[in-house]
Structure 1
Amino acid sequence: MSTCAKVSQDLEEPLAGTAATARTWLLVEQPGPWGAEALTSSHLDPVLGRALERAAEDTGVRIALIRRPGRHADCHQAAERQVYAAHTTPGNVWLHSATTSDPEQLLTLDFAELGRGLSGTFDTALDGRPHTGDPLALVCTNGKRDRCCALLGRPLAAELAASGVAGAWEVTHLGGHRFSPTLLVLPFGYAYGRAEAHAVKEVLQGVREGRVVTEGCRGSSAWERPGQAAELAVRTVVREDTAGALSVVRTEGEAPHWEVTIAHTDGRHWLVAVTQGASSPPRAQSCGSALGSPARMDVTAVRELSRTTATSPARR
């Protein structure tokens, strides 16, 4: 039986504009097995998990569980848990880390503040500080969400760790099972699909140098999906790989057509036309699910704007 990832790759389904959306990521170490809804179906206290879900709702914060690659003892508690918070919006990108032996401390966080890109609540509640180590390479390995994540993600995470990638972690869910192995790289927040170890190492080297690798990229989690596709298209057209150089400053329209304005830190602007299409022929979005036509983001035009047009008031 073909997996959803094999079918998607065979059909050359495009990756751009398929990343999960989150301005801020909160990552909590939880060893042991994970269920499909990991915050409430792992060895993390499910009462705490539900409380964290409620606290993060509508704040722009996405919570995920992480664990180190390899075999996982069926342990209920971790003496010290690693916790990360990362904000991905250009101009205010940061990654802070902390450890805690009491995950209940997470409920003292101001999630609205985190979603706005303010790190103070994290640092105060958890004695956090800026992360000065390697960038994080988060590989989705949760086979209870989709078997492709386990079959393809776990070997990738293990290979990265074995080759000395200190920032390699397994993560519970990044969306887009059919693009497995899927990967999120922090602090910049770009997601990748159909990842291979050598390519991941190139991506991580790019992060260290302040560059974004666009090959295999699904988009930045800082933007909604039309913006993800538009930003990647501009990067490709103008050959811009500097992290933080481009931002989505305006999105007009509604499905299936949008006009997205992309701004460069040097003052240039582009208007990008994005159309939502239906992938064909029908395919399963997850292993075992019914056949469907997943939405795809197609960039149909990229036009550089004059300085006068770019700075005019937004159209209503």
Structure 2
Amino acid sequence: MSTCATASRDLDEPLAGTAATARTWLLVEQPGPWGAKALTSSHLAPEVGRALERAAEGTGVRVALIRRPGRHADCHAPPRHEVYVAHTAPGHTWVRSEVVEDPRRLLDLDFAALGAGDHGGFGTPYMGAPLALVCTNGKRDRCCALLGRPLAAELAAAGEEGAWEITHLGGHRFSPTLLVLPYGYAYGRTGAHAVKEILEAVRAGRVIAEGCRGNSAWERPGQAAELAVRTSTGEDAAGVLAVVAAEGAAPRWEVTVAHADGRRWRVTVAQGTSRPPRPESCGAALGTPARMDVLAVRQAPEGAAQEDSTGRRPDLAASPYEIPTTLTSE
């Protein structure tokens, strides 16, 4: 039987502009089985999962469960939970970690501040290997288990200390899917060799655009626009590009992408539909998922809007924007 990932690959569905959106990720270790809605259907106390969902709503924070690759004993009460909080806004990325005995402690966090990039002193700076988070939740979609779990296991066997399984990254049909922190770029249809190259690039402060779905800090039109600038210019340095504005509304936007050196680009992005119909998830009815098509990339003239009224270059970390869109995360 054909899977949603096979159909998406065979139809060459574009990856750019399909990443889950989150300026900040809150990742909570929870071994054992996960249900389709893992925050309330795992061995994490359901009332805690529901409370975390409510606390994160509308703040720019996305909560997910993680576990180490491999076989998962059905243990109900792990003595300790590794927790990571990661902010992905270019120019202000950080990852902090802490081990907690009771995840209820996380409800004391200021989620609005986390979404804005203020960790409030939580944990300590994480200085370890880049985090490679592979979606493996077969209860949401079997492709995530069939394709994601072998990838996560292979990364762990190869000695990638930052390899984890994660409950959900959206876009089952792009399995195996991967989120890499600290920079927050998501990837699809990734093999182990490609992931190793991606992680080597992250260690060197670079971003690989091939196979990239986008940076989770941006809404989906912004994700596609930033990747288009990287592809057209060859810019691979992490943390130097930011989406600073988007004019228009679905199905067409004019997105402004700024470089830390002052250059700017205007990118025309159109929302289209993927045809012919294909399953967006295994077992789902055929559909025509939205896609982000980049129609044009134009560099602004030298000196145009490169400095504000005080003569300062744009602050990449202070460039949040919101785009009204009909797209939803799976």
Given that 2:263 and 2:306 are in contact with CA atoms closer than 8 Å, whether structure 1 keeps it comes out as no
- What's the counterpart of residue 212 of structure 1? 207
Per-residue deviation, residues 148-200 of structure 1 (Å, max 9, x unmatched): 00000000000000010000000000000000000000010000000100110
Q: Percent identity?
A: 72
- What's the counterpart of residue 19 of structure 2? 19
- What's the counterpart of residue 312 of structure 2? none
2:231 is aligned with 1:236: yes
Say how many residue pairs are matched.
308
Per-residue deviation, residues 69-126 of structure 1 (Å, max 9, x unmatched): 00000011111110000000011100111101111100110001100001125x2xxx
Given that 2:262 and 2:307 are in contact with CA atoms closer than 8 Å, whether structure 1 keeps it comes out as no
Given that 2:262 and 2:306 are in contact with CA atoms closer than 8 Å, whether structure 1 keeps it comes out as no
- What's the counterpart of residue 47 of structure 1? 47
Given that 2:96 and 2:125 are in contact with CA atoms closer than 8 Å, whether structure 1 keeps it comes out as yes
- What's the counterpart of residue 130 of structure 1? 125
Q: Distance in 2 between matches of 1:102 and 1:43?
A: 12
Q: Distance in 2 between matches of 1:51 and 1:311?
A: 43
- What's the counterpart of residue 311 of structure 2? none
Q: Distance in 2 between matches of 1:78 and 1:252?
A: 48
- What's the counterpart of residue 177 of structure 2? 182
Supply the RMSD in Å over aligned alpha carbons. 1.0
| Other structure's SS at 1:310 match | coil
Letter in 2 for 1:62: R
| Other structure's SS at 1:178 match | helix
Deviation at 1:131, TM superposition (A): 0.4
- What's the counterpart of residue 319 of structure 2? none
For structure 2, the 5+ residue unaligned runs are 309-330
1:169 aligns with one of 164, 168, 191? 164
Deviation at 1:29, TM superposition (A): 0.2
2:256 is aligned with 1:256: no
- What's the counterpart of residue 77 of structure 1? 77
2:136 is aligned with 1:141: yes
- What's the counterpart of residue 68 of structure 1? 68
Deviation at 1:309, TM superposition (A): 3.9
- What's the counterpart of residue 87 of structure 1? 87
Letter in 2 for 1:165: E
Given that 2:89 and 2:217 are in contact with CA atoms closer than 8 Å, whether structure 1 keeps it comes out as yes
| Other structure's SS at 1:84 match | strand
Q: Distance in 2 between matches of 1:311 and 1:215?
A: 29
2:273 aligns with one of 258, 270, 278? 278
- What's the counterpart of residue 117 of structure 1? 117
* Bigger mean CA offset, 301-310 vs 26-35: 301-310
2:296 is aligned with 1:301: yes
Q: Distance in 1 between matches of 2:61 and 2:307?
A: 32
Q: Distance in 2 between matches of 1:206 and 1:101?
A: 34
2:264 is aligned with 1:269: yes
Letter in 1 for 2:148: G
Per-residue deviation, residues 244-288 of structure 1 (Å, max 9, x unmatched): 110000011111000000000110000000001100000010000
- What's the counterpart of residue 310 of structure 1? 305
TM-score, length of structure 1 as denominator length: 0.96
